[in-house]
């Protein structure tokens, strides 16, 4: 396998998860050779989630993983949130194939991984092939076996055999949007160093930033040098707002309400799992690889529906040792605009009754936007709301 590993640091003593930032992209001088070699290999076609995972592996965002998980890593992650070597890791990163396809693959055999468009993206050495219990994974990772949960439904829709092994990236999955924002962990780390940032807080989002998000980001900015606003742009639920629209929201917000030298906007190509507490750890470790020293965890992080308690993600993170986690979580309570306080506040800082709090449900906001109405400015910046209204019209 062609692979290079480079240890990169941002703050003093701050290293990627496992100590090394993995680079699985083939050197330019070997791309033609690998492409030609791949033509004669058996091919496995990836779905969109697996394609996103392959990109995250290739650029080092999933460091220290060097490929899709083998049996030992998978079983340990599902049962104990640790890799076989004992390193903290909370969410499986796997590649499934049908039983028929698996029967034609041999352990120790090199195969080609092909994207949805038919483009060869990588080669993979099949180290392991194994069956797995989907109900056990659902119960352990998602805390439910209900197919109504989008992450569980996606996992149930996988094939019945997993194949694991190291990968070598021939080319990243092609994208026709957001090119200037697709920074790799090595590139965000270089940007932080150039800016002179030593303490960097990461913010995970799959939604437009509203006033509550803005409030906790700016609270965090008071204690650090810079903010990595890092929206996830891989697969999300069908009713989530498209990535292009969200990015326009982030752009108008940063242009009007944030200091330009304190924020870096970049995108993360991962797919959402909606795994709640486990995914909160997953997101923290990924931002550690991108060079962050701190990570914001608010209410119901990576949650969906009523599957997780409001602060279950925070509780699980607090159970991890600081040495294992290697990034400092910043925990925030539910935030809102209080009419009596005349400003943004949280349950930690506001003494007033909830009747004074401006809080809207997602359904209320969507109905207002669909009608062309701006939500209250205490809930959403008007510039952001206008972008959303325009997108709904189109």
CB burial of residue 12 (10 Å; 0-12, 13-18, 19+): exposed
Per-residue pLDDT band at 324 (split at 50, 70, 90): very high
pLDDT at 4: 39
pLDDT at 266: 98
165, 188: one domain: no
* DSSP summary character for residue 118: S
User: Residue 12 pLDDT more than 70?
Assistant: no
pLDDT at 360: 82
73, 221: one domain: no
Residue 306 lies in a domain: yes
227, 274: one domain: yes
Catalytic residue among 140, 207, 334, 356: 207
CATH of the domain at 218: 3.40.50.620
pLDDT at 365: 87
pLDDT at 161: 98
CA-to-CA distance for 391 and 394, rounded, in angstroms? 5
Per-residue pLDDT band at 38 (split at 50, 70, 90): very high
User: Residue 302 pLDDT more than 70?
Assistant: yes
Per-residue pLDDT band at 359 (split at 50, 70, 90): confident
84-to-69, 74, 89, 339 alpha-carbon distances in Å: 10, 8, 10, 52
pLDDT at 89: 98
226, 269: one domain: yes
218, 156: one domain: no
Question: CA torsion, points 31, 34, 39, 44, in degrees to nearest 10?
Answer: -100
Q: How would you classify the pairing of strands 110-114 and 120-125? A: antiparallel
Task: State the average pLDDT over residues 339-349.
Answer: 95
206 is catalytic: yes
258, 378: one domain: yes
CB burial of residue 31 (10 Å; 0-12, 13-18, 19+): middle
User: Residue 165 pLDDT more than 90?
Assistant: yes
| Number of independent structural domains in the chain | 2
Per-residue pLDDT band at 1 (split at 50, 70, 90): very low
Per-residue pLDDT band at 5 (split at 50, 70, 90): very low
345, 364: one domain: yes
User: Residue 9 pLDDT more than 70?
Assistant: no
User: Residue 67 pLDDT more than 60?
Assistant: yes
**Domain region containing 39:** 4-169
Task: State the average pLDDT over residues 205-209.
Answer: 92
Q: In 232-273, at which residue ranges do the beta strands (DSSP E only) sit?
A: 263-265
Give me the sign of the Cα torsion angle 336, 338, 343, 345.
Answer: negative
202, 272: one domain: yes
362, 315: one domain: yes
Residues in the chain: 394
Per-residue pLDDT band at 393 (split at 50, 70, 90): confident
User: Residue 343 pLDDT more than 90?
Assistant: yes
Which tokens go with 275?
């795994």
Residue 292 lies in a domain: yes
User: Residue 11 pLDDT more than 50?
Assistant: no
Which of 125, 151, 169 is the endpoint of a domain?
A: 169
pLDDT at 210: 92
User: Residue 387 pLDDT more than 90?
Assistant: yes
Catalytic residue among 23, 172, 189, 206: 206
pLDDT at 6: 40
Per-residue pLDDT band at 366 (split at 50, 70, 90): confident
Furthest-apart CA atoms within the chain: distance in Å: 70
CA-to-CA distance for 142 and 140, rounded, in angstroms? 6
129, 33: one domain: yes
Percentages (nearest 5) of helix, strand, coil residues in the chain: 35, 20, 45
Mean pLDDT of the chain: 94
Query: What whole-number percentage of the chain has pLDDT above 90?
Result: 89
Task: State the average pLDDT over residues 302-315.
Answer: 97
Strand partners, 337: 344, 358
Q: How many helices (H) and strands (E) does the chain have?
A: 14, 17
Per-residue pLDDT reduced to its tens digit, 93-132: 999 999 999 999 999 999 999 999 899 999 999 999 999 9
Residue 174 lies in a domain: no
User: Residue 13 pLDDT more than 50?
Assistant: no
Which of 149, 169, 189 is the endpoint of a domain?
A: 169
Task: State the average pLDDT over residues 323-345.
Answer: 96
Which of 169, 196, 211 is the endpoint of a domain?
A: 169
381 is catalytic: no
Rounded CA Rg of the chain: 21
């Amino acid at each position: 396998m062609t692979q290079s590993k480079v240890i990169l640091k941002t703050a003093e003593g701050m290293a990627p998860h496992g100590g090394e930032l993995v680079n699985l992209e083939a050197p330019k001088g070997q791309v033609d050779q690998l492409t030609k070699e791949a033509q004669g290999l058996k091919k496995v076609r990836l779905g969109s989630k697996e394609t996103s995972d392959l990109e995250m592996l290739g650029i080092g965002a999933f460091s220290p993983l060097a490929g899709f998980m083998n049996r030992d890593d998978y079983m340990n992650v599902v049962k104990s949130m640790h890799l076989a070597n004992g390193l903290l890791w909370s969410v499986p990163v796997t590649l499934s194939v049908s039983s028929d396809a698996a029967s034609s693959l041999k352990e120790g055999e090199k195969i080609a991984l092909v994207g949805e468009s038919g483009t060869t993206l990588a080669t993979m050495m099949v180290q392991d092939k194994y069956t797995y219990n989907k109900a056990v994974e659902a119960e352990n990772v998602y805390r439910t076996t209900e197919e109504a949960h989008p992450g569980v439904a996606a996992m149930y829709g996988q094939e019945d055999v997993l194949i694991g092994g190291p990968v070598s990236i021939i080319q990243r999955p092609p994208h026709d949007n957001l090119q200037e924002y697709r920074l790799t962990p090595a590139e965000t780390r270089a940007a932080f160093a150039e800016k002179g940032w030593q303490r960097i807080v990461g913010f995970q989002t799959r939604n437009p930033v509203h006033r509550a998000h803005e409030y906790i980001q700016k609270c965090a900015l008071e204690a650090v040098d810079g903010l990595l606003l890092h929206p996830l742009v891989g697969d999300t639920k069908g009713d989530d707002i498209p990535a292009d629209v969200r990015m326009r929201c982030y752009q108008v917000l940063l242009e009007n309400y944030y200091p330009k030298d304190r924020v870096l906007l970049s995108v993360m190509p991962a797919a959402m799992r909606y795994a709640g507490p486990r995914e909160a750890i997953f997101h923290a470790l990924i931002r550690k690889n991108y060079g962050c020293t701190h990570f914001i965890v608010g209410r119901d992080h990576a949650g969906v529906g009523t599957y997780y308690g409001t602060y279950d993600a925070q509780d699980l993170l607090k159970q991890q040792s600081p040495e294992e986690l290697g990034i400092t979580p910043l925990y925030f309570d539910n935030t809102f605009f209080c009419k009596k306080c005349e400003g943004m506040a949280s349950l930690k800082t506001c003494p007033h009754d909830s009747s004074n709090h401006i809080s809207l449900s997602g359904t209320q906001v969507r109905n207002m936007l669909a009608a062309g109405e701006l939500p209250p400015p205490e809930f959403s910046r008007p510039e952001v709301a206008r972008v959303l209204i325009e997108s709904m019209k189109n």
